[in-house]
Chains A and B, each alone.
Chain A
């Protein structure tokens, strides 16, 4: 090996490429099929999120947070409104807390379904993708009957939510959860335990614990490397301390800890945990209550700043908000988990084959809207 050294070829993967999950461009140096250098080039989806925030009122920022991580819009606005509420010291009604958790967990499932499905696509399996979209569709239907939107909800408001749960939501939820739990086994049969799938993803793109921590990788990617770190558990926000759920971590069942299969598996297990949380929330939610009760007349936080982080489907999603006492934030900074995950790509994917690099990229589950902001 290494005796024959041909010229290295520079290859641009993206920005238009089927598996860059958006408009990412990877500048790679290839030695045959082996990738010897990866440089992610980002910014094709930059929409001046943070600059926009400096010119909009606090409520008007919410739709923009939705558009950052458009796959998990609920979770993104959830983090933002929690930060603003903390800054303003608002206590929201019980019912609102529960509704928010239910929505956030539903969106986590929807996001993970997309992540797993597209990961399957990267490996070349087409059918699981559509199986997962079938179930994702039903979650989006639930969102639709609640707030009318299917992708960008603008549902979480400072001090409440835009709409109360509609009639029939609970029944539809229970029905969906029962059926969905069975469907997860279907995914395992068609994808997770498929021999070819394991060959392609186990022992590929291993992200050791220390590399993950050094790069600030969070969320399922960090847990895939075997670190038990989940803000819902370790730094409970909202009412997450009331629910019983586990934090699945990668154990290297099929290969070694921190490989692509582990990251995939952690997401699949997290869907189970989300189901548990939603069930508990549905059981405990106060049946009555006005969701608009705590809405402030004017969202004008006192002077000060806050950094608040929540666990989005992609990891620690932090908002740093500086308020100067006006209705417009002085600065909103978003700490995007997908950004840190992408930064670790060149570390873990260099030296693998072209096909593996795209699989590793898929296993990191990045959303370019959030990286470029």
Chain B
């Protein structure tokens, strides 16, 4: 279901001005995407809490009896948290640059939000299947870093400033290996459209494996890992969480934020996870393609497979977070520039040769 479909569908019922229809359907898509982000945050926060608890020999949020209820197995915990955050006092420091301080969380949020517009959740479920889909996502998902820098600068807090400085350096560095490994995928698919990339991954390869890009050739196998590592770094999660490094920078760029403004940072962190994991799934893991060619295919199965793969990759990110210590800022740069970037370049070359010689 793209926006174009919605417009056509509406047009067949209400023959009104195209502009009105366009705005209406964009709004509908926006609401749906916002809902996806919100639900994702609700589920992911709960999952993060529970998974971390199980990894750490705890039980995590649990129902605590009448009055202190968090639902059965703590299922309502995230909702309770959200209500708490909404009710909290909204504090803006006196010395803060008020306008930028207010706008920063929304800019970060926007980065993840508009990137999801080109995310194919199923064979027919995509807000807009542009012919430059993957390029568009890469471009807008780095938009969030502006928000981080604004938040850091406007807070007038030294810890925030440190977080902002680190974040800017980190995200810009990791964009490069991420983009290079995606380019190597584009050589295989020879299209920039998200749906096109997924459609090119149909069928099987090597006889039994699904023809996903990760299995296509050894170079793209490596590219998957480079992209995923760089992706984790772009979402500012452990082991690359230096912009908000709790034990060093208190809370990094969002030290001064409270209540719902802070929640927006949180929401966009999970939104970014969704974008990065979604892109991983689309580019390397066959998007909504079924793992066994010809079995369980169709619109709804597509959605099912996409969400399954998405959940698995998000789980890996959560797993990382609760297993690894944090890198130091210079080590982080070393990983990006001295390890990932050369491998990514070599990889791109390898994939190019492979496509030329083999397929």
Q: Which residues of A contact B (CB under 8 A)?
A: 9, 11, 17-19, 33, 120-127, 130-131, 134, 190-191, 194, 196-197, 199-200, 353-356, 358
Main secondary structure of the interface of A (DSSP, over half): helix
Query: Are A123 and B57 in touch, CB under 8 angstroms?
Result: no
A33 to B242, CA, bound (A): 12
Query: Are A127 and B55 in touch, CB under 8 angstroms?
Result: yes
Taking A122-B247, A199-B331 as contacts, is the C-beta distance between A11 and B158 under 8 angstroms? yes
Taking A127-B56, A131-B57, A134-B57 as contacts, is the C-beta distance between A200 and B327 under 8 angstroms? yes
Total cross-chain contacts (CB, 8 A): 76
**Additional pairs, 4, CB under 8 Å, beyond known A120-B325, A126-B52:** A18-B250, A125-B323, A125-B325, A126-B56
Query: Are A194 and B324 in touch, CB under 8 angstroms?
Result: yes
A339 to B158, CA, bound (A): 28
Residues of B within 8 A of A191 (CB): 325
- Which residues from 315 to 345 on chain B have a C-beta closer than 8 Å to any C-beta of chain A? 322-331
A316 to B324, CA, bound (A): 34
Residues of B within 8 A of A17 (CB): 250
Query: Are A131 and B56 in touch, CB under 8 angstroms?
Result: yes
A108 to B242, CA, bound (A): 33
Which of chain B's residues has its CB closest to A129's CB?
B56
Which of chain A's residues has its CB closest to B329's CB?
A33
Residues of A within 8 A of B323 (CB): 125, 127, 190
Query: Are B56 and A18 in touch, CB under 8 angstroms?
Result: no
Query: Are B250 and A123 in touch, CB under 8 angstroms?
Result: no
Q: Can you give 7 A-B contacts (C-beta < 8 A)?
A: A121-B247, A124-B247, A126-B52, A127-B323, A194-B324, A354-B248, A356-B328
A120 to B330, CA, bound (A): 19
Query: Are A355 and B329 in touch, CB under 8 angstroms?
Result: yes
The minimal Cβ–Cβ distance linking B245 to chain A, given in whole angstroms, is 7
A356 to B328, CA, bound (A): 8
Query: Are B324 and A125 in touch, CB under 8 angstroms?
Result: yes
Residues of A within 8 A of B57 (CB): 130-131, 134
Q: Write the B48-70 contact mask toward A (1 if CB under 8 angstroms, else 0).
A: 00001001111000000000000
Taking A127-B56, A127-B322 as contacts, is the C-beta distance between A9 and B327 under 8 angstroms? no
Query: Are B56 and A124 in touch, CB under 8 angstroms?
Result: no
Residues of B within 8 A of A9 (CB): 158
The minimal Cβ–Cβ distance linking B19 to chain A, given in whole angstroms, is 51
Residues of B within 8 A of A190 (CB): 323
Which of chain B's residues has its CB closest to A130's CB?
B56
Residues of A within 8 A of B326 (CB): 123-125, 196, 200, 355
The minimal Cβ–Cβ distance linking B320 to chain A, given in whole angstroms, is 11
The minimal Cβ–Cβ distance linking A189 to chain B, given in whole angstroms, is 11
Query: Are B329 and A18 in touch, CB under 8 angstroms?
Result: no
Main secondary structure of the interface of B (DSSP, over half): loop
Residues of B within 8 A of A126 (CB): 52, 56, 322
Residues of A within 8 A of B193 (CB): none
Residues of B within 8 A of A199 (CB): 327-328, 331
Q: Give the most central of B56, B248, B250, B330: most A CB within 10 Å.
A: B248
- Which residues from 213 to 267 on chain B have a C-beta closer than 8 Å to any C-beta of chain A? 238-239, 241-242, 245-248, 250
A191 to B57, CA, bound (A): 16
Residues of B within 8 A of A18 (CB): 246-247, 250
Which of chain B's residues has its CB closest to A32's CB?
B165
Which of chain A's residues has its CB closest to B242's CB?
A355
Any A CB within 8 A of the CB of B113: no
Residues of B within 8 A of A197 (CB): 325
Q: Give the most central of B242, B325, B327, B328: most A CB within 10 Å.
A: B325
The minimal Cβ–Cβ distance linking B312 to chain A, given in whole angstroms, is 20
Residues of B within 8 A of A120 (CB): 325
Which of chain A's residues has its CB closest to B158's CB?
A11
Query: Are B55 and A124 in touch, CB under 8 angstroms?
Result: no
Any A CB within 8 A of the CB of B162: yes
The minimal Cβ–Cβ distance linking A168 to chain B, given in whole angstroms, is 24
Query: Are B325 and A123 in touch, CB under 8 angstroms?
Result: yes
Query: Are A196 and B327 in touch, CB under 8 angstroms?
Result: yes
A358 to B327, CA, bound (A): 13
Leading 7 A-B pairs by shortest Cβ distance:
A124-B326, A125-B325, A130-B56, A19-B247, A123-B325, A124-B325, A196-B325
Q: Write the B154-198 contact mask toward A (1 if CB under 8 angstroms, else 0).
A: 000010001000000000000000000000000000000000000
Query: Are A194 and B325 in touch, CB under 8 angstroms?
Result: yes
Query: Are A353 and B328 in touch, CB under 8 angstroms?
Result: yes
Query: Are A196 and B56 in touch, CB under 8 angstroms?
Result: no
A185 to B264, CA, bound (A): 40
Residues of A within 8 A of B242 (CB): 355
Query: Are A130 and B327 in touch, CB under 8 angstroms?
Result: no
Query: Are B329 and A196 in touch, CB under 8 angstroms?
Result: no
